Structures are given as C-alpha cells and as structure tokens.
Amino acid sequence: MSQTLPVGTILRERYEIIGLVGQGGMGAVYQADDLRLRGRICAVKEILPELISAPGMESPTHDQFYREASTLARLDQPNLPKVSDYFAQDGREYLVMDFVPGQDLRQLLEAARRRDTFLDERTVLSWAAQLCEALSYLHTQEPPVLHRDIKPSNIKLTPRGLIKLVDFGLVKLLQPDESRTVTVVQGRGTVAYTPLEQYGGDTGHTDVRSDLYSLGATLYHLLTGQPPADAKQRFLRPGSLIPPRDLNPRVSPRVERALLAAMAQHPDDRPASVEAFRQILFAEETPDPAAHSTPLQATQELTWRAALLSHRALLVIVLLLTLVAVLVTIWSPELPLESGSALTGFHGWCLVSAGRSVHACSSCPSLSNESHPAIKVTTPATQTRPSACHCVDPGSQPVA
C-alpha cells in the first residue's frame, strides 16, 4: 500500500491536507482546506495510476481519467457530491469533491446491531428513494455513468437527512459504440455487493443492471443486519442466499420481492432500469383510503377506530339490551287492569294517560265522552286511522 500524504501537504497550491478520511487499494481520500475559498472544506480523492493500468498504458490511462473527470464535474444532482476540480501531481491523479458531513450507513448499521435491533423499513425505503434518484440521474447521462461500488460505507446521511452517494472510485462510463469499455479507476467493488459479471473487471460486460444488483444487496444488508451471500458463493452453492424475511420478519413481502429481483444472478433476470426497480419496490399492494385524506382527517379516523375497538364489548352489550327491549315491547301480553284504577299503559293505537283522561283514536267507537262520562276522551286532530284498536276500560273487558 502506498504512503499517504502527510497533514499539511498542499496540492496544486490550493488544497491543504488536514486529515485522512479513508484508504483503499486504489488510493486514498483526504479532507482538505480550500486555501482559495477560505472556510470551504473539500474531499480530495487520490488515484494511483500504477495500480490501475498495465505497464506501458500510463498515457492512455491518464487521458481516460481526464475524460471521466470532466464528465463527473458536469454532474449536478442533490444526492451526489459535486466534483469541482481534477488534476495530476507527482504521478498521481486527484478528484476534488464536496466534503459530505455526517455518518455513513455502515456506522448506522453497526449502531443498530449494538442495540440488537433492525433499522426501520420506512426509514430504509426513504433512503432507497433518494438512491434511486441518484442512480436514475447517473444512468440517463450521455454516455451513461455507472457507480460500480454501491455499499453502506459509500452512502452518507447528512445531519439534514439527505442521502449522498459518495466515492466515485469505480465510476465507469458506458460507450455505446464499444462492446466493452476501459475504466480508469478499475476495481472489483466489495464482494458482498458485487454482481457476478463485475468479478472479471473489464473482461465482463457491466451495465445499469450491475448497479441495481449492488443497490439491492445494500438494501438487503440495511434491512436484515447482515450482508448477503456473495455472487460467487451463490453460483457455487445455489440457495445460499437467505430470504430477507427469514432474517427480519418485519420486512414486507413487497420489499423482499424487489430485493430478490434486483439481486438475480443473471442480469436479464433483474429489472431493466432503476425506474422498473422503483416500481416494484414502492408498488402499493392494496389501496389505502387514508393516503388520500388530510393528516387531520387521518388522525381523527384513527382516533375513532381506536375508541370503537377499545369499547367494543360495551357496544355489544348496549346493542343486545336494545334488541331485548324492542322484542319485549312487541311481544308483551295485554294485562287486565284492576277495577276502579285509572287507565294506564299503551295498547295498540290508544294512548291512555295516568289520570282520568285518555287520548283515543277516531276508530275506537266504544270509547267516547258519551259512553264514559267519568273519563275525558280527546282525539288528536292528526291521528292516523289504524286498522284495529284495542282499548281497555277499567273494570271491564276490552272495548272495540
């Protein structure tokens, strides 16, 4: 491994190295202070040409680096760090990008594992939506741009909640007029997230579906807490990939289907594009009426549902008592009154008060003021004529 730049080194009379961010087989990433724009902190990606080019190919590799770097400098998308400069110095190539603050997703995974819990699916899907935006942007450039090293440690979450896909160390430009392309910053990716076709470097054909495999493997790791079986192991031992829901039952079936589709061994079995993958990942299995209501309406509906569920036993009792009362009223027998007592009760269409007066219907010919002078009988003006009337007179049999 090559020697890293010491703190205080000034590159291109502008970028002062203030710390080492990370180091790999292809070079290192430094945090640097922009001496021209005081207060601006940037990330400087160092690339070692001797590690990525064959003997005698240094000049073509250098030219390819500048073509790729100029393409990256034109990229402008919220989920990608902005490449602001590129140059060569002392036999090394450098990319200058925005320095992205915050934790990477590998650190968040480790924190969740220490708590013996899983990352929330809704949170992971919100990150996935932003990653899809970044990849869709890269893949629709002319020529298309592949990242080729998507993994949790190359994804950062800023303090403001924005996802950034960092480290363009393995970026590859797809040339439509070539059967395969040369990538200046060639690498193998990280085993657990690398599709089978990428194992051969540039001897194999990679395209946008290769990035989809890496994205699916990354989301698998975020949701299950463990990296998936690598592509070579899966080729030698079919069935070695454990379904996500076997590791985390809280992963929804829809998400599991999307991840397994993206991680298919053969590129032809994967979604053809980021958009196709996004439609599988975020497809609605059943319509949710609450999704079309305002937040206040949704909250009120949930409150009423909770209240009804918590008091369902009481509601059942009230309904049963009401039903019993109705049945008793309908089927109760007529009871004779004692002689000399006041007319009380409700019989048929005759409403009898507790005093010495009664409200009788107009179809009750036997009950009137003339036939019962001791009882004042009044007939409502709006009384509807019934088909039958059964009125009880004190001390006698029913009349009418």
Show the 3-state SS of 116-129.
CCCCCHHHHHHHHH
Q: Could you report the per-residue pLDDT of 239-251, keeping only the tens digit for each?
A: 999 999 999 999 9
**Beta bridge partner(s), residue 358:** 352, 377
Q: Tell me what pLDDT residue 376 has.
A: 47
pLDDT band at 68 (very low <50, low <70, confident <90, very high): confident
More confident residue, 236 or 351: 236
Q: Are 172 and 149 in contact (CB under 8 A)?
A: no
Domains of the chain: 1-99 (3.30.200.20), 101-285 (1.10.510.10), 340-400 (no CATH)
- Rounded Cα–Cα distance for residues 320 and 151 (Å): 61
pLDDT tens sequence across 97-108: 999 999 999 999
List, in order, residues 6 or more apart from 29 with CB less than 8 Å away.
Answer: 20, 21, 22, 23, 43, 44, 45, 46, 167
At residue 341, the 3 state secondary structure works out as coil
Q: 8-31, pLDDT tens digit by residue? A: 999 999 999 999 988 876 678 999
Q: For residue 143, is the peptide bond before it cis, meaning its omega torsion is within 30 degrees of 0?
A: yes
Per the prediction, the chain carries an average pLDDT of 77
Catalytic residues, by residue number, are 149
CB-based contact 366:378 (threshold 8 Å): no
What does the block give as tokens for 141? 């450039």
pLDDT computed for residue 396 by the predictor = 46
Could you read off the pLDDT of 317-351 as tens digits, one per residue? 888 889 888 887 787 665 554 444 444 444 444 44
Task: Out of 18-32, 183-197, 348-362, give the one with best mean pLDDT.
Answer: 18-32
CA distance 335 to 344: 11
Contact 92, 27 (CB under 8 A): yes
What is the pLDDT, as a whole number, of residue 344?
Answer: 41
Amino acid at 96: V
Compute the distance between CA of residue 27 and CA of residue 46 in angstroms, rounded to an integer.
5
Q: Which structure tokens are listed for 40? A: 């601006």
pLDDT at 367 over 90: no
The DSSP annotation for 14-70 comes to TEEEEEEEEEETTEEEEEEEESSSTT-EEEEEEE-HHHHS-TT-HHHHHHHHHHHHH
The residues facing 254 across adjacent strands are: none
Give the range among 50-59, 230-239, 257-266, 285-294 with minimum mean pLDDT.
285-294
pLDDT band at 181 (very low <50, low <70, confident <90, very high): very low
* DSSP β-bridge partners for residue 399: 391
The number of residues in the chain equals 400
Q: Quote the CA–CA distance of 186 and 344 in Å, as a whole number.
A: 102
Alpha-helix residue ranges (DSSP H) falling in the chain: 49-52, 58-74, 105-114, 121-139, 208-224, 231-236, 244-247, 253-262, 274-281, 295-310, 312-331
pLDDT score, position 300: 46
**CA–CA distance, 161 with 78 (Å, rounded to integer):** 12
Residue 351 φ/ψ, nearest 5 degrees: -95, 115
pLDDT at 354 over 90: no
Mean pLDDT over 39-51 rounds to: 82
